[in-house]
Structure 1
């Protein structure tokens, strides 16, 4: 939950608490579960759920459970990092997928987390935790390291000051180590992340630039570590990222060479 316990709940806050009760692990909830997970009296939850269902923000299934409705998806598609970015990126993501048949992803930064806005995955691709609309801490993902490396200095410092959750023995858990990794990403223009979540997976990621020549997203390929030399994948990932940047109108993507920022955060 993202509720602030120091702030008294408003009607809007209660509505958001109801919506925030859903997760990828719990996409369908009963009314009593919504009441408990949102921290609301059953009568209040019932009233809010009834109104949200009437507006299409929630849908009720045959078993009586509730799930997020299509109306919210329509609203979410209006987000700045929504449809326009995905439409520009999809042809390039599809090209990379056809060349590799591995997981190909597009993500944006939200604080110290990445949000995945598109993913293409084949039946034989390595299984990973990500999903469209899902979140992961930025420090454990290739796309997250790219996005943090080129984020404003204060965003970087906030992420470095926060606890770094461990997912595997190889997960970066030291702020000093993460700072060095981010410096390498700025120098190289790409990130290679191996075994940070799934021990048998490697991610290669590169930045996507927008009209103001700032990094607005990142793309990555996630493949089996034991069958992939990540450096052979770097050119394809960077070429796709450059193509998306050009489609978004980034001035740097129209120049012959794609330099990278090298100043420290």
Structure 2
């Protein structure tokens, strides 16, 4: 592929999203991946989220892959649920906690500061953008209150029924599911997408890479950036009118200048689902 098919892919990180999609999509909504609780489950006792490793911590001379496997095995010891079991439980029983509420709990001014805390926690920021104090406060608060943190790069199970309903409201009976690179695309029926099976465990979805969801007529597109805690939803003006995005998801509408890496930009007003 010599150039991006802008109907299918996110823009480069240094370009504003709406101008990049000009002539294809008219509006974009950033739906923030929720924190959540599952009654009876303690995140500290269950395997969930990204195991963050730093190369500088690797013992001298240790094989990198073997070192990662060893730490992963140690991290899994004593856990009540492993692998994708928490995703199954989250889709069935998860109770969402929004970013607005978490900002109030943590004393953060806005969702950009919370995004910085989350990205600091996964070591996904340059040193000059990190906020270790906010990240530590967030982790301690969530541990004390048995709150699961959102996971970067994947559509959360708690969003799956909402996204399926969104495509149904638009009148579609099937969608195109693709990986982040465009190497794997498949047609998936909308019916059944809101059942109890998380999408990442389905055989009819792309196996590798971060997911993109497309309308067959390319009037709407949803994607997750590999190192981000949101699902971006773009649509034509006509299609967006039927989607009820700002009553379905917590998030914000893109401004002309909004980029994929928006935490360094002015915070835009959050809308809350009803």
Does TM-score exceed 0.5, indicating one fold?
A: no
- Higher RCO (CA-CA < 8 Å; seq separation 6+): 2
TM range, normalised to the smaller chain?
A: under 0.3
Name the one with the larger helix percent. 1
